[in-house]
């Protein structure tokens, strides 16, 4: 009996030793696995995004941009405080995006700051003035709490610094006519693009060169002053005539032709054509029809007439045709008009002027994604034509409530005083801006080089392009800024009569960025994050049911699970006793 007891005891000891040895081995193996995973993770970087819209997956261009950083980029974000839910979500999404940036670069640093100091209104006002002076625009929001509402000032933006240079960044997109929830969601979609673009502005070492052509009475500098200033954040901007010299555009990546008023020579056309054949991009802002508001200031009416610029054959070969017509659109910009007099004082009213259509994005392309309506003046229609190896994308179009007027067009303010016959404005949407991409064919193919071209030694004419992009817009005024009361240029797209800002500046910036985009940052504008908002009316109708379900169901499940486990354990041990 004693031997049996000793044997049982020895078996228990051996078993305990084996268990202990197994536990030690398991611990050591676990530690080795952890060390190995960390060593592999330090050498090979990998992140897994399980979201359906891939919201935490940065584009290749953004990752390359972050990996190339060699100094600290510091973000001071002024989205801290007690905000409405939508702005809290934007704040959290901004923090998440910056954390994602930091995963690829240790040079990204940030802090969230509340510019509103409770109990110290003087310091708060000083902070507000400082932020406004540095270019951040405040937003007033209505805050409702406990059946009381109040106005709150928010600065939804950041100041970003790099090597002593600082620029403002707006995190909130200003989109006319959209609900606040949709505006905030669109702002979240644009976060990667806006953050990456800001970093690119600050860190770019050698700027691409962009040229405004000036040889054919294009818009003077004062009319494009605002967009020139904006473009200089990204590019070296120059103004120059071609004068038939092939070498004129040699160092430039993009040519902007903004509302020319004089016919192009064959020599200049040849230089532009060969610039395109060698990979250069062009932004064409052309008026096919001449019509001017200045004429209506001195005469009761004027005529819209075709404008001969000698560009039709070029653009047709590249894939588009500018039509010599004018668009009248019921969705148009109001202008100030004298509608009567009280005594000797004129009464000014804002009346829609159908010749100034508000055109909107025709596609979800990154250039026009989430873009505000673009203000135009005397715009014409564009047709695309067959052209091999060219991909055509309609960017902007009129509303469905348009009427096409063939030239010559009688233009008079009389239409504002007449009853509108809406049946005449049902010709559907028409294209006014087109993107062309691919290998263009030279308009001078099988032709002699025109006289007046300055040919450098070793020059070889190309009949087919190496691959390029161009954007054609049938209105030169989309790039033209208005002026303030002191003659200062106003922001492009800002209408001083309506006190509203349209999407002209963003459209031109996006267009030039896309034409020059060798890093692919524009891909980030295609990001789509779906807004999964609650149905507020449904929530209000079923508030009690939802509360009981969310609070009571988890408790009920725990009670059921505990009771079931108790019953099974009791049944198990009762069987053993029996």
pLDDT at 395: 96
Residues 327 and 459 in one domain: yes
Does residue 488 form part of some domain? yes
Between the alpha carbon of residue 565 and those of residues 553, 559, 578, the distances in Å are 18, 10, 20
Does residue 550 form part of some domain? yes
pLDDT at 364: 86
Does residue 53 form part of some domain? no
Query: Residue 220 — pLDDT band, cuts 50, 70, 90?
Result: very high
Query: Residue 223 — pLDDT band, cuts 50, 70, 90?
Result: very high
Summarize pLDDT for 46-80 with one digit per residue, the tens: 556 555 555 567 777 888 888 888 889 999 998 88
Residues 386 and 444 in one domain: yes
pLDDT at 105: 85
Residue 334 has pLDDT above 70, yes or no: yes
Summarize pLDDT for 396-409 with one digit per residue, the tens: 999 999 999 998 98
Per-residue b or e along 254-271, where b marks 16 or more CB atoms closer than 10 Å to that residue's CB: bbbbbbbeeebbbbbbbb
Q: Is the dihedral of CA 90, 96, 100, 106 positive or negative?
A: positive
State the Cα–Cα distance between residues 349 and 345, nearest whole angstrom. 13
What angle do helix axes 191-203 and 85-104 make, rounded to 10 degrees? Answer: 50
Does residue 49 form part of some domain? no
Query: Residue 6 — pLDDT band, cuts 50, 70, 90?
Result: low
pLDDT at 275: 95
Please state the rounded mean pLDDT for residues 532-546. Answer: 64
Residue 286 has pLDDT above 60, yes or no: yes
Residues 269 and 398 in one domain: yes
pLDDT at 8: 58
pLDDT at 17: 74
**Domain ranges, residue 557:** 540-577
Bigger pLDDT: 270 or 557?
270
Q: Number of folded domains in the chain?
A: 4
Torsion of CA 10, 13, 18, 24, to 10 degrees: -160
| Contacts for 558-564: CB closer than 8 Å, 24+ residues apart | none
| Residue percentage of the chain with pLDDT more than 90 | 35
Sheet holding 165-170, edge to edge: 108-112, 73-77, 157-162, 165-170
Bigger pLDDT: 40 or 408?
408
What is the model's pTM?
0.75
Of 29-33, 188-192, 226-230, the range with the highest mean pLDDT is 226-230
pLDDT at 496: 86
| Contacts for 442-445: CB closer than 8 Å, 24+ residues apart | 442/273, 442/274, 442/277, 442/317, 443/269, 443/273, 443/313, 443/314, 443/317, 443/318, 444/270, 444/273
pLDDT averaged over every residue in the chain:
83
pLDDT at 7: 66
| Residue percentage of the chain with pLDDT more than 70 | 84
Residues 137 and 218 in one domain: no
pLDDT at 566: 78
Residues 373 and 299 in one domain: yes
CATH number, domain at 361?
3.40.50
Query: Residue 527 — pLDDT band, cuts 50, 70, 90?
Result: low
State the Cα–Cα distance between residues 235 and 386, nearest whole angstrom. 33
Bigger pLDDT: 536 or 354?
354
CATH number, domain at 184?
3.40.30
Cβ contact 285:348 at 8 Å? no
The angle subtended at Cα 524 by Cα 364 and Cα 509, nearest 5°, is: 75
Cβ neighbours of residue 68 under 8 Å, at least 6 residues apart?
Answer: 203
Please state the rounded mean pLDDT for residues 523-538. Answer: 55
pLDDT at 327: 95
Phi/psi of residue 426, each to 5°? -130, 35
* Low-confidence winner among 38-42, 144-148, 427-431, 462-466 (lowest mean pLDDT): 144-148
Please state the rounded mean pLDDT for residues 4-23. Answer: 68
Last residue of a domain, one of 149, 173, 202: 202
Does residue 357 form part of some domain? yes
Residue 176 has pLDDT above 60, yes or no: no
Residues 158 and 231 in one domain: no
Cβ neighbours of residue 380 under 8 Å, at least 6 residues apart?
Answer: 287, 288, 289, 322, 323, 324, 325, 326, 327, 432, 474, 475
Last residue of a domain, one of 202, 219, 238: 202
pLDDT at 575: 59
Residues 189 and 278 in one domain: no
pLDDT at 34: 86
Which has the closest alpha carbon to 107: 118, 98, 117, 116? 98
* Low-confidence winner among 234-248, 453-467, 552-566 (lowest mean pLDDT): 552-566
Query: Residue 574 — pLDDT band, cuts 50, 70, 90?
Result: low
Residues 505 and 365 in one domain: yes
Bigger pLDDT: 3 or 353?
353
pLDDT at 131: 87
Does residue 338 form part of some domain? yes
Residues 261 and 380 in one domain: yes
State the Cα–Cα distance between residues 143 and 125, nearest whole angstrom. 20
Please state the rounded mean pLDDT for residues 506-519. Answer: 85
Does residue 534 form part of some domain? no
3-state helix, strand, coil in the chain (%, to 5): 40, 25, 35
Does residue 532 form part of some domain? no
pLDDT at 11: 66
pLDDT at 536: 55
Cβ contact 116:81 at 8 Å? yes
Residues 250 and 292 in one domain: yes
Of 174-183, 255-264, 482-491, the range with the highest mean pLDDT is 255-264
Please state the rounded mean pLDDT for residues 430-445. Answer: 94
> Residue 4, SS3?
helix
pLDDT at 205: 75
pLDDT at 406: 92
Please state the rounded mean pLDDT for residues 361-377. Answer: 89
pLDDT at 273: 95
Q: Is the dihedral of CA 477, 481, 483, 484 positive or negative?
A: positive
Query: Residue 209 — pLDDT band, cuts 50, 70, 90?
Result: very high
Cβ contact 337:416 at 8 Å? yes
Q: How does strand 236-240 pair with strand 209-213? A: parallel
Bigger pLDDT: 519 or 550?
550
> Token pair 């239409």 is at which residue?
415
Residues 215 and 195 in one domain: no
pLDDT at 528: 53
Residues 102 and 135 in one domain: yes
Last residue of a domain, one of 181, 202, 223: 202
Q: Is the dihedral of CA 348, 351, 353, 357 positive or negative?
A: positive
């Amino acid at each position: 009996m004693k031997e049996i007891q000793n044997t049982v005891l020895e078996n228990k000891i051996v078993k305990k030793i084996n268990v202990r040895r197994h536990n030690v081995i398991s611990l050591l193996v676990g530690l080795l696995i952890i060390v190995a995973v960390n060593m592999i993770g330090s050498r090979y970087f990998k992140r897994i995004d399980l979201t359906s819209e891939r919201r935490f997956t940065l584009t290749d261009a953004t990752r390359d941009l972050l990996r190339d950083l060699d100094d600290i980029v510091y973000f001071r974000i002024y989205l801290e405080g007690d905000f409405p839910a939508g702005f809290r979500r934007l704040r959290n999404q901004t923090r998440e995006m910056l954390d994602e940036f930091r995963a690829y670069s240790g040079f990204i640093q940030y802090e969230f700051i509340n510019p509103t100091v409770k109990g110290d209104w003087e310091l708060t006002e000083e902070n507000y003035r400082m932020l406004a002076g540095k270019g951040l625009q405040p937003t007033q929001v209505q805050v409702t709490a406990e059946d009381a509402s109040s106005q709150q000032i928010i600065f939804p933006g950041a100041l970003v610094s790099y090597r002593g240079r600082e620029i403002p960044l707006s995190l909130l997109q200003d989109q006319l006519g959209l609900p606040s929830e949709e505006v905030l969601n669109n702002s979240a979609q644009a976060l990667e693009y806006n953050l990456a673009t800001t970093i690119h502005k600050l860190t770019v070492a050698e700027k691409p060169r962009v040229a405004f052509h000036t040889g054919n009475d294009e818009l003077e500098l004062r009319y494009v002053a605002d967009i020139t200033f904006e473009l200089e954040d990204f590019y070296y901007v120059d103004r120059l005539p071609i004068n038939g010299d092939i070498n004129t555009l040699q160092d430039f990546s993009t040519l902007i032709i903004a509302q020319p008023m004089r016919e192009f020579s064959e020599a200049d056309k040849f230089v532009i054509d060969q610039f395109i054949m060698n990979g250069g991009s062009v932004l064409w802002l052309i008026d096919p029809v001449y019509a001017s508001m200045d004429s209506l200031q001195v005469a009761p009416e004027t005529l819209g007439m075709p404008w001969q610029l000698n560009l039709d054959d070029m653009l047709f070969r590249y894939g588009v045709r500018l039509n010599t017509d004018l668009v009248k659109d019921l969705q148009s910009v109001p202008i100030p008009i004298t509608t009567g007099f009280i005594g000797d004082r004129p009464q000014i009213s804002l009346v829609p002027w159908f010749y100034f259509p508000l055109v909107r994005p025709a596609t979800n392309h990154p250039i026009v994604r989430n873009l505000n309506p673009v203000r135009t003046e005397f715009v014409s229609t564009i047709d695309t034509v067959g052209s091999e190896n060219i991909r055509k994308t309609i960017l902007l179009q009129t509303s469905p409530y348009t009427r096409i007027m063939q030239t010559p067009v009688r233009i008079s303010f009389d239409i504002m005083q007449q009853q509108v016959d809406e049946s005449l404005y049902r010709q559907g949407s028409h294209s006014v801006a087109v993107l062309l991409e691919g290998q263009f064919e030279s308009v001078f193919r099988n032709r002699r080089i025109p006289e007046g071209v300055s040919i450098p030694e070793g020059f070889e004419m190309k009949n087919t392009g190496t691959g390029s992009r161009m954007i054609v817009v049938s209105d030169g005024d989309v790039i033209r800024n208005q002026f303030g009361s002191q003659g200062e240029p106003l922001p492009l797209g800002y209408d001083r009569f309506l006190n509203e800002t349209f999407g002209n500046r963003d459209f031109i910036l996006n267009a030039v960025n896309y034409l020059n985009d060798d890093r692919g940052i524009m891909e980030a504008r295609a990001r789509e994050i779906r807004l999964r908002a609650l149905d507020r009316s449904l929530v209000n109708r079923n508030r009690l049911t939802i509360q009981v379900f969310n609070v009571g169901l988890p408790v009920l499940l725990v009670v059921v699970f505990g009771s079931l486990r108790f019953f099974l354990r009791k049944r198990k041990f009762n069987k053993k006793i029996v």
